[in-house]
Amino acid sequence: MDAQVLHPHSSLRSYGLEAKYEFLRLWRTPSFALPSLLFPILFYVLFGVVLAGGRGGAEVARYLLATYGVFGIMGSALFGFGVTIAIERDNGQLEYKRALPMPPGAVLLAKMAMAMLFAAITSVLLAVVGGVFAGVSLAPWQWVALFAVNVLGVLPFCAVGLLIGSLVSGSAAPAFVNLVYLPMAFLSGLWMPLTMLPAFIAKSAPAWPSYHLAQVALKVVERDAGGPLWLHFGVLAVVTVGCFMLARRRLAAAR
């Protein structure tokens, strides 16, 4: 405690080191890094580049650039938090880190930084594929805004992943995350426009946080459904705070 007061730079160094090693740990885990980075790119190449050639071309590619960006960053956040927190709870690593003389919240901030970094990489890769191979043309501010939406958009799904990780075991976490991740992506219109899906799916889409983040991204590329931004931001804020508070209570009770 005194060391942190006398030497505040040591606390910052602790945050930085924890974030660095969290990123390196997951970067060196192919079962996490490869799907997180490659799946959204491969899906976008298939649907946004190959199949979109005769079905609207660049307009479809522009729409899918926004939605597959959301799809990609969801995976990084949900698996990065949901699975790793559950495993660390099971093997006692989370309890061990709590006992270490590190700043409070360093573990969660490190995982959040990791998710944001993976989101940034995914966003850049999608932008390159969209701009070079799919013929997507955006103004400079739109590219920057879309990047910001993707990087900051991990926060609600970090909170959802944290809640999942606080509730399920390490062995069950991957399956449980997939049960949340994949249906949510489909039902939110991330894989294909909601106009191509049954009416009842389109009507229920606003129930999912992924829909609201997708609408923010689509607003940037001028392909959204026309809802107010404050509503989308409000839903995402409620999901973030609500899931975080529930997860915090669960983790505190599990001590």
- pTM for the model stands at 0.89
pLDDT tens digits along 209-235? 999 999 999 999 999 998 899 999 999
pLDDT at residue 240 greater than cutoff 70: yes
Instruction: Supply the pLDDT for residue 20.
Output: 79
DSSP per position, the chain: -HHHHH-HHHHHHHHHHHHHHHHHHHHT-HHHHHHHHHHHHHHHIIIIIIGGGGTTTHHHHHHHHHHHHHHHHHHHHHIIIIIHHHHHHHTTHHHHHHHSS--TTHHHHHHHHHHHHHHHHHHHHHHHHHHHTS-----HHHHHHHHHHHHHTHHHHHHHHHHHHHHS-TTTHHHHHHHHHHHHHHHTTSSS-GGGS-HHHHHHGGGSHHHHHHHHHHHHTT-S----HHHHHHHHHHHHHHHHHHHHHHHHHT-
Is the pLDDT at 242 greater than 80? The verdict is yes
pLDDT band at 2 (very low <50, low <70, confident <90, very high): very low
* pLDDT (average), residues 40-59: 79
Q: What pLDDT does 202 receive? A: 92
Task: Report which listed range, 91-105, 190-204, 234-248, is most confident.
Answer: 234-248
CA atoms within a 13 Å half-sphere pointing along the CA-CB vector of 49: 18
Percent above pLDDT 90 for the chain: 53
- Could you give the CA distance from residue 205 to residue 29 in angstroms, rounded to a whole number? 33
Does 253 have pLDDT greater than 80?
Answer: no
Q: Between residues 71 and 49, which one has the greater pLDDT?
A: 71
Q: What is the pLDDT of residue 104?
A: 65
Q: Mind listing the pLDDT tens digit for each residue in 50-108? A: 877 655 577 889 999 999 999 999 998 999 888 888 888 888 877 777 766 677 677 88
Write down the pLDDT at residue 5. Answer: 45
